[in-house]
Structure 1
Amino acid sequence: MVKLSAIAALMFVSCFCCVQAEGVKSSGTGFAVTSDGWILTNAHVIDGCERVDVKGVGTVSASRVDAVNDLALIQVSSTKPLMPLEFRRAPVRLGEDIVAIGYPLAGLLSDSIKITTGNVNALAGPQNDTRYIQISTPIQPGNSGGPVVDKDGMLIGITSATLSKQVADAIGITAQNVNFAIRASVAELFLQSQSITGTSGDHTVDQPPSSTADLADKLSPSVYYIQCFGNMEASVPADLSDVRKSNAPQQALAPVMLEMSGYDAIGFDYTNRPDISYLGCKAACESDAQCKAITYNTKYSVCFLKYDVVALIRNSDALAAYTSSKSKDVIVSDFTSYSDVDLPGGDYKRFQKTDYIQCFVSCLEENACKAFSYVRKKHECWLKNRLGTPRRVKGVELGVK
C-alpha cells in the first residue's frame, strides 16, 4: 500500500508553467487585485526569473513572495488603472459551479485567454490541507496563478496544482480532473500581511448567476499573461510540509532520455528512420542537438525524431522517450490512440484546417469530450461526447479518454 505522505509529496511536482520560444523560459497567469498595479499569481510562476513581463502592461518592478503557500504579488506600472477581481466573503460550497481562467499551453494554442468550467469536488486538498480546494475544471501548463471564480465572477481560489503522473503510477490508476486551487481566503491574508488591500464582497440576492460567456467578457480584462525570462527552476517544494531549502551549490545535471513504454510523443516530427532498432532510434536522438523526443513504432520498426514534445498519448505499439530538460512541460495524458480506427456517432464539434495536436488539446480541455477523430487527409477534427462501436477507417487517428 502506498502511504499518503508519499502521494502528497508527489502531488505538486508538476507546476503549470509552459515553455515558450524567443527567450521566454516559462509562462503563467495572474490577475489584478488592486487598481494601482498589484497582480497576484503563483510563486513558482516567477521563481528564478531574471525578468518578468506582464503582456500588454509592462515589466514587473517589484515582487513579494509567500513560498509556503505558493503565492506571489507582482507590481507593474500601468497608464490606466487595473480592474481588480473581488474576493468572495462567503465560504466555498461543495459542488458549486466554478470557472477557471488563464493562458494554458501558450505557444501551442492561440495566445487568447481560455475559459474552463467545473465544480468544487472537495473542501480540502491532499492530506486534508484546508488551504486548498479540489476542483474539476480542466487545467493545463500555463494556468498556474489564474483565478477560479464562482458564477457571479467572485474569486474563490487560485489555480495551483494537479495530480502528477508519479501519483497515478503509485496508486495504480489514472485519476481524471483532480486539480487543486489555493483558497482565496489564504491569498487575502497574504495581501493583508503585505499591507495591500484588495476588494471583497458578497453575492447580491436579486442578481441572477452570470453565464460563462458573460463571465468571460467581465473577467478577461483583469487576467494577464505572465512571461518569465531567464533561468526557471520550480520553487514549490515537493512536500508541502517541508519548505526548507538547501544553500549548498547545486551541480547541473546533463539531460538524459526519459523512457515511456506504451506511449507516443505526439507531433513535431522532423524526420523518420525505417528499419531501425529502438536503441538505434534513441541513440540517433541523443546524438542530434535538435532532437527532444522520439516515438518508436514497435510494429513497423520505424523511428520518429521530434524537435519538441508537449504530450504523451497511450499507444500499445509505441515506445516514447524525451529529454529530461522537457520533463516539467510534458503532459502524460490518459488518452489511448488508435490508427485507422473511427468511432461513428457522438460528434458534437468539428474543426477544419487543423492538426492532430490541436485536435488532442481541444478534447483534453473539454469535460464533454470523450474521444476525438482526426482525419489526416482533410486536416479535420471531430470531438465526440459518447463512444460508439469502433470500425476500421483508413486515414483516421482516434483518441479515446
Structure 2
Amino acid sequence: MFVLSGVCLAQAETPSSSGSGFAITSDGWILTNAHVVKDCRRIEVPGQGVASVPRLDAANDLALIKVDAARPLAPLQLRRAPVRLGEDIIAIGYPLSGLLSDSIKITTGNVNALAGLQNDTRFLQISTPIQPGNSGGPVVDRDGFLLGITTATFSKKVADEIGITAQNVNFAIRASVADMFLQAQSVSVQFGERAPEQAALSTADLADRIAPSVFQILCYGSAEGQPSAAVSSPQPAGAGLIERAGYDAIGFDYQLIRETSYADCRASCVGDGRCQAITYNVKHRACFLKNNVMALIHNTDAQAAYSTAKAASVVVSEFTSYSGIDMPGGDYGRLNQTTYLDCFVACLGDNACRAFAYIAKKKECWLKERLGSAEPKSGVDLGVK
C-alpha cells in the first residue's frame, strides 16, 4: 500500500506547524484534517483565538475544532449532487505560510478520478496544485459548494521508492465522508445546489465568496498528555486484555450492560470466563460482552478490548462504523435474516463493496458499490471501507 505524505507545514520556530480549515457551522465549528491538529498542545485560529481540543476521525484524516467566535461564521454548504469526473474545482487555503505571503491563496483544477489510491472511494483525485499548509482546506465547485477536503499529495519519497515520478497527483476526502463524521459528532451542516437559472461563478467571484469561510490553523508544541478522540495503538489492559480506543470489536455479543463505565465493562469481561472481547460505546454508556472476536472496525464513539489469546487472529480492518446513519443508493446486494457480523464479512470479502448498511430490527443487510450522501436514520448501522 502506498504511503501518502501529509501536507502539513513544519517549521523550526513556533508555531510548530500550520494548515487550513473552514467554517462548517455559524457558531464556531471548523473542519480540518486530523494530521493538522492531532499532535498540538495548543491550536490557534488567527482572528478567532484559541480552539478547543479537537475531535478526531484519524481513519479518515478529519478533525473538528471549535472557536468562540465574536460574530457568526460563514459556513460552507455541502453539495447534494454527486461529483462528476472532469468537473472544474477550486482549492483554497494557506500554503507555505512563512515562505510565501500570509494571505489566503486559491488554485484551480479538475477532478481527475472519482477514487484515490487502490480505488479508495473515500477520496477524489484532483489536479489543483497542493502545497504544505493546504491540508484541511476546502475543495469547492464553480458554485462554491463543498466537494472535498484537501488531505494529501503523492510524495517525492514514495515516487523515489517506486521509481515513478508522478506529477500533480493530489487527493481530497469526499464531502460525503466528512458529513458522516459530522453527523456522528452531532454537528448539523447545510446543503445547497445551484438554481436552474444560476450561472457558474468566475474564479475571482468564488474567491470573494469562499475566502471569509477559510482560516489558517496554527499548531503549537506537542500534545503530550492532551486528551482527544483519536484512534489509538494497541495498549495492554491488564488481566489478559488488549485495549484499542476508537475501535469496535466485531464478534458475537452475548450480553449488553447499560449505563455503565468503561472500567466496569472491562472488569465484567475479566471476571467472566466466556468473554473474549468487549466494545464500550462512550456516547450511550453501553457495554457489549463478546464470546468471540474476528475484527476491529473504526468507531470514534467506541473503546474495544480483546483477549491476548486472540491477538494473532484479530483483523484490524479499514472500515469505519457509524451508528444511526444511512447512505441511500448504491445498493447492489441484499442479505435477509442475517447478523451485523455476517454483513461486515460479506462486504469485507467483496471487492465491489464500498459500504454496507445493517438494519438490526429487520436483520437486513444492504451492500453498496458506491458512496452517496449520508443522512440520519435511527436503527441503521453504516460501515464504510
**Cα deviation 1:132-159 (Å, max 9, x = unaligned):** 0000000100000000000001000000
- Residue 229 (structure 1) aligned with residue 220 (structure 2): yes
Preserved contact between residue 62 and residue 76 of structure 1 (Cα < 8 Å) = no
Tell me the alpha carbon deviations over residues 262-287 of structure 1, each in whole angstroms, 9 at most, x when there is no partner: xxxxxxxxxxxxxxxxxxxxxxxxxx
Aligned equivalent of 1:97:
88
Q: 2:6 is paired with a residue of what secondary structure?
A: coil
How far is the alpha carbon of 1:202 from its aligned partner? 1.3
**2:113 alignment counterpart:** 122
Matched letter for residue 213 of structure 2: S
Q: CA deviation at 1:19?
A: 2.4
Q: CA deviation at 1:201?
A: 1.2
User: Whole-Å Cα distance in 2 between the matches of residues 120 and 131 of structure 1?
Assistant: 14
Paired position in structure 1 for 2:199: 208
Name which of 136, 139, 145 aligns with 1:145: 136
RMSD, aligned α-carbons: 1.6
Q: How does 1:269-348 map to 2 (within 5 A)?
A: none
Counterpart AA for 2:214: V
Partners of 1:87 and 1:178 lie apart in 2 by 24
> Aligned equivalents of 1:48 and 1:22: distance in 2?
16
**Per-residue CA distance 1:332-377 (angstroms, 9 max, x = gap):** xxxxxxxxxxxxxxxxxxxxxxxxxxxxxxxxxxxxxxxxxxxxxx
Alpha-carbon distance in 2 for matches of 1:45, 1:232: 12
The one of 41, 44, 64 aligned to 1:53: 44
How far is 1:22 from its partner?
4.6
Query: Which residue of the other structure, out of 81, 93, 101, is the alignment partner of 2:72?
Result: 81
**Which stretches of structure 1, 4 residues or longer, exceed 3 Å deviation after superposition?**
none
Q: Distance in 1 between matches of 2:153 and 2:17?
A: 18
- From 16, 24, 29, give the equivalent of 1:25: 16
Deviations 1:258-313 (A, max 9, x none): xxxxxxxxxxxxxxxxxxxxxxxxxxxxxxxxxxxxxxxxxxxxxxxxxxxxxxxx
Per-residue deviation, 1:21: 5.9
Query: C-alpha displacement at 1:20, in angstroms?
Result: 3.7
The alignment of Structure 1 onto Structure 2 pairs a total of residues equal to: 230
1:20 and 1:56 mapped to 2: Cα distance?
A: 21
Q: TM-score, normalised by structure 2?
A: 0.58
Residue 29 of structure 1 aligns to a residue whose secondary structure is strand
- Residue 178 of structure 2 is matched in structure 1 by 187
Taking the aligned partners of 1:170 and 1:94, their CA distance within structure 2 comes to 29
Counterpart-to-counterpart distance in 1, 2:87 and 2:55: 32
Gap change, CA 1:80 and 1:21, over 3 Å in 2: farther
- Corresponding residue for 1:220? 211
Distance 2:234 2:220 in 1: 24
Name the CA distance, whole Å, in 2 between partners of 1:162 and 1:143. Answer: 10
**DSSP 3-state at the match of 1:198:** coil
CA–CA separation in structure 2 for the residues paired with 1:61 and 1:213: 33
Cα distance in structure 1, aligned partners of 2:12 and 2:212? 25
Instruction: Show structure 1 runs of 5+ residues with no match.
Output: 234-242, 249-401
CA distance, structure 2, for counterparts of residue 145 and residue 115 of structure 1: 14
CA 1:81–1:21 in 2, change beyond 3 Å: closer, same or farther? farther
Q: Helix, strand or coil: the match of 1:115?
A: strand
Identical-pair percentage: 67
Aligned CA distance change for structure 1 residues 232 and 180 (closer, same or farther; 3 Å): farther
SS in 1 for 2:136: coil
Match of 1:245 among 229, 233, 236: 233
Deviation at 1:173, TM superposition (A): 2.1
Alignment of 1:44 onto 2:32:
no
